[in-house]
Chain A
Amino acid sequence: MSLKDLQEWLYGCTHCGTCKDILNTFAPACPAGEKYQLESYFPSGKMLIARGFVNGVLTLDDDDTRERIYACTGCLSCEQQCGVYHHQHIFDTVQALRSESVMQGNLNPAYMVMVESLKKDDNVFGKPKAERREWAKDLKLKDAAKENTEVIYHAGCMLSFDADLWEIPRSAVKLIKAAGVDVGIMGVEESCCGGRAYEIGYDGEFTKYAEHFIETFNSLGTKKVVTSCSDGYSTFKNLYPKVNIEMKFDTLHMVEYLESLINDNKLKLHKKVPLKVTYHDPCHLGRHLGEKGVYNAPRNVLQNIPGIELAEMERNRENAWCCGAGAGVSQENPDLALWTANERIKEARATGAKALVTACPWCVRNFKDAVKKYGEEIEIYDIAEIACKAL
């Protein structure tokens, strides 16, 4: 996205501050603003930075200014709270500032490493491409790059390379197989979706991955791609249309797919899992999808698991507080990422839940790291892990 494309929205913000809190409950809405408190960290401050940049008053070669631009988890809570006509373009503006920084060659070291890894190994973690299917090595899954399958499960970068989280994709494919569905994976041929590259301003890298992804699946004649990664899912749904190539396949998030398998009586979750849980709505599965936000499916899945007691946090659904990992923050500003996660964990604990369940590996990773850092007592799960216990 270019700032030139956003001219229409650039002056929308009056700096009124409505974006700072959840409408009607007035609980904090913006992680970066809440942590740092300076106006430049709040969404309205970032809108003014964009204006200052366009008007030639501010430059992006200042590390300190860029730090503020990158201190945004892209959670879109501001867009949810703001009612002014530009409200759906606040993160677009932040992304455009990042893109402008990259174009000017004002690069952040943490992201340079990440992008180099993308170029070399098609993932954002600096891991060898050959290790991408390690998580599934004993599962005897079909190689979807070589043979047709009804469903292709896309693990994404985080679940492919973080061994601590491998139980999530393994649970997901076990559930799909338990429903009698023919499922395969792309294995070493799988690549990053490109969403993270887009969010940190590397538009060119994003376009490369989007084109590759769509063309690959189109050429394979794929009908359905299912992923447990909410970031990836919203990239498919929201960002891929930007590259103007028809997607001849359907994309589903694992929670949607699980719900449909349960509703179609293909999947029976009958074993009791006695646990009080609270559900964290990942931003990319909720607000990023606008009116199509996936809020009911995960709750329906949890309520179909015998023994599960679901308690809601004060900020939920469209108003959920972010986990802190999004838009490159966990790579570049772990302090902000983990502080944000811990704020959410405290909210989760206030419900009396013993476990925080979510539906995005970036959230799971960040919550686990925050538990390690801050020591709050709570278990962290992906929804597939809980559902798998009920098989």
Chain B
Amino acid sequence: MLQAVTSELIEQLEKIVGSQFVSTNAADLYIYSYDLTPAEPHSPDIVVLPQSVEGVQAILKLANRENIPVIPYIAGGNVGGLTIPLNGGIMLDLKRMNRIIEVSEDDMYALVEPGVTFGQMKSYLTNNHPTLKYTYAFSPPSTGVIANALVQGLDNLSFRYGAASHWVTGLEVALATGELVRIGSCAASKTWQAIVPFPEIGGLFLGWQGATGVVTKMAVSLWPNPPYNNALTYMPMDLEGADAILRSIIRTRIPDDLIGTSFTLNKAGVAAYEHRKMDLYPAVKREGDEPEFVITAEITGNTEKELDAKAEALSEAVEAGCKGYKFTGPETVPSTTAAFPMQALGVLSSGGGLMWVGTYGPMSRWLETVKKGCELQDKYDITRSCYTRIMNEGHFAGLRWMLPYDKGDPALIERINDLCAEQLELVLETGYIPYKTPVWAVRKLEERVSPGWLTLHRRIKAILDPNNIMNPGRWGMPRE
């Protein structure tokens, strides 16, 4: 916490954004001090909501001069505690910067401000550019498009295109000093079509959790929106079968999206869709012939014929690759796209909390990691709740164990914290790297990275943020 939020500081911030959009009210500070994870709460000293790039620059200049931490915030739903201000300071809530500035039909990108949400983007494209689509994250519709890209999120086009940060085609960033920089083609022209062929300095900001600057504009790729879609669902009886099915599908290169979940997570999740509390504790078990895993491959087609051909090819590949394993399916279900915007309801209905050890790692060690992670859940009598999404045509996999929990139950929180600690050790052993990395995992990860990486990482942070004001205590610099 700052020694005191001086009236002079408040006055200067009010001059920049207007008094209505500056708050030191206790309720505001309390709300921004938490998120849905069990991360230790820390209060900001002041909340500020700018509406312009110039406003952001002015705030950063002021903060840099006064050595005040700045925490960029959009919706706060990152499941990593990433916007909890470890050292207090200014909570920079960017939701008022919510313009979709441009959609280029020809170059297939959208240029957006940080407050633009997935819901807003979907609605805008549906109404104005129906032949184009963006993706959606496994998250509420209020999630920020830019935030999702900055934390390298996984989305429903990730099988085709990888993590959301891969789809960034241009950036405008306000540095900690308040200077403004454009990165990608937009640095040299009026269009924002690609980061290449410049040196890829976008990487100085993507995946940094706001520790190097505030992204004030971002261009993201859009894709054609084929009119036909469907989803094929396979339900293997064991994890070996799941692994075999995933590998078979990966090699077809057919789906847009390929995800898998523990059957028991879906079983427990039924309650949520009936507007009841979902409870993973004690563990919900499989019964009778219930499968271990549910795998869904989402496919699209420009024609029905194309869609049917894709479905047939997928089914043949799975049949051929899974002879040794028992599974039920395929079942054709409505596309998961249809579930938007309520696709995450199942994990948001357990009492205000959601936690996970979320990772990206190699397919080669997927089976081993999933098995051990699920066994740890058994040990803690917690429902198996694995969620995996195959990325970038199988070059890596997103993997996590969803842990929705009741924030009013301290004993349960302790239990899932213990589970997560063990799961973190497991994934680090098997080469799965925590993403949206909570600070406790950052420090664990830093113990394992090569000294050269750590030195370079901290050097970059120090160059870009000499006074360590940008979301301090996370990537690049431990908490003082």
Q: Which residues of B contact A64 (CB under 8 A)?
A: 25-27
Complex-state Cα separation, A12 to B354, whole angstroms: 11
| Interface residue B184 (Cβ < 8 Å from any Cβ of A) | no
Q: Contacts A37-B49, A38-B47 known; A20 to B142 CB distance under 8 Å?
A: yes
Apart from A27-B123, A37-B49, list 9 A-B contacts with CB within 8 A. A11-B353, A14-B354, A39-B31, A39-B76, A40-B28, A45-B27, A68-B27, A84-B272, A84-B275
Task: Give the contact stretch, choosing among B32-40, B215-223, B248-256, B428-436.
Answer: B32-40
Q: Which residues of B contact A62 (CB under 8 A)?
A: 25-27
B28 touches A11 (CB 8 A): no
CB < 8 Å: which of A15, A24, A40, A49 contacts B77? A15
CB < 8 Å: which of B75, B76, B123, B352 contacts A12? B352
Q: Which residues of A contact B27 (CB under 8 A)?
A: 40, 45, 49, 52, 58, 62, 64-65, 68
> What are 22 residue pairs bridging A and B, where the CB atoms are less than 8 Å apart in the complex?
A12-B277, A12-B352, A14-B348, A16-B140, A16-B142, A17-B143, A21-B120, A21-B141, A24-B341, A26-B119, A37-B96, A40-B23, A45-B27, A52-B27, A62-B25, A62-B27, A68-B27, A83-B272, A83-B275, A83-B345, A84-B272, A87-B275
Nearest-CB residue, chain A, relative to B122: A26
Complex-state Cα separation, A11 to B75, whole angstroms: 19
CB < 8 Å: which of B141, B341, B345 contacts A84? B345
Most buried by B among A23, A37, A58, A68: A37
Chain B positions 229 through 266: 1 when the CB is less than 8 Å from some CB of chain A, otherwise 0: 00000000000000000000000000000000000000
A11 touches B123 (CB 8 A): no
B window 1-55: CB within 8 A of A: 20-21, 23, 25-28, 30-32, 34-36, 47, 49
Nearest-CB residue, chain B, relative to A88: B275
B142 touches A17 (CB 8 A): yes
Q: Which 6 A-B pairs have the closest CB atoms?
A: A17-B142, A26-B119, A16-B140, A11-B408, A26-B123, A11-B352
Q: Contacts A37-B93, A58-B26, A85-B275 known; A14 to B20 CB distance under 8 Å?
A: no
| Interface residue B177 (Cβ < 8 Å from any Cβ of A) | no
Q: Which residues of A contact B28 (CB under 8 A)?
A: 38-40
Chain A positions 24 through 58: 1 when the CB is less than 8 Å from some CB of chain B, otherwise 0: 11110000000011111000010011011000011
Complex-state Cα separation, A12 to B119, whole angstroms: 22
B142 touches A85 (CB 8 A): no
Chain B positions 327 through 347: 1 when the CB is less than 8 Å from some CB of chain A, otherwise 0: 000000000000001101100
The tally of residues in B whose CB lies under 8 Å from a CB in A reads 49
| Interface residue B285 (Cβ < 8 Å from any Cβ of A) | no
Q: Which residues of B contact A26 (CB under 8 A)?
A: 117, 119-120, 122-123, 141, 341
CB < 8 Å: which of B21, B35, B75, B117 contacts A37? B21
Nearest-CB residue, chain B, relative to A66: B27
Complex-state Cα separation, A83 to B123, whole angstroms: 20
* Interface positions of A (Cβ within 8 A of B): 10-18, 20-21, 23-27, 36-40, 45, 48-49, 51-52, 57-59, 62, 64-65, 68, 83-85, 87
| Interface residue B349 (Cβ < 8 Å from any Cβ of A) | yes
Complex-state Cα separation, A36 to B275, whole angstroms: 29
Q: How far is the CB of B272 from chain A (nearest CB, A)?
A: 7
B window 304-336: CB within 8 A of A: none
Q: Which residues of A contact B345 (CB under 8 A)?
A: 83-84
Q: How far is the CB of A131 from chain B (nearest CB, A)?
A: 39
Q: Which residues of A contact B31 (CB under 8 A)?
A: 15, 39-40, 45, 48-49, 52
| Interface residue B465 (Cβ < 8 Å from any Cβ of A) | no
Q: Which residues of B contact A68 (CB under 8 A)?
A: 25, 27
B142 touches A21 (CB 8 A): yes
Q: How far is the CB of B25 from chain A (nearest CB, A)?
A: 5
| Interface residue B276 (Cβ < 8 Å from any Cβ of A) | yes
B141 touches A15 (CB 8 A): no
B20 touches A36 (CB 8 A): yes
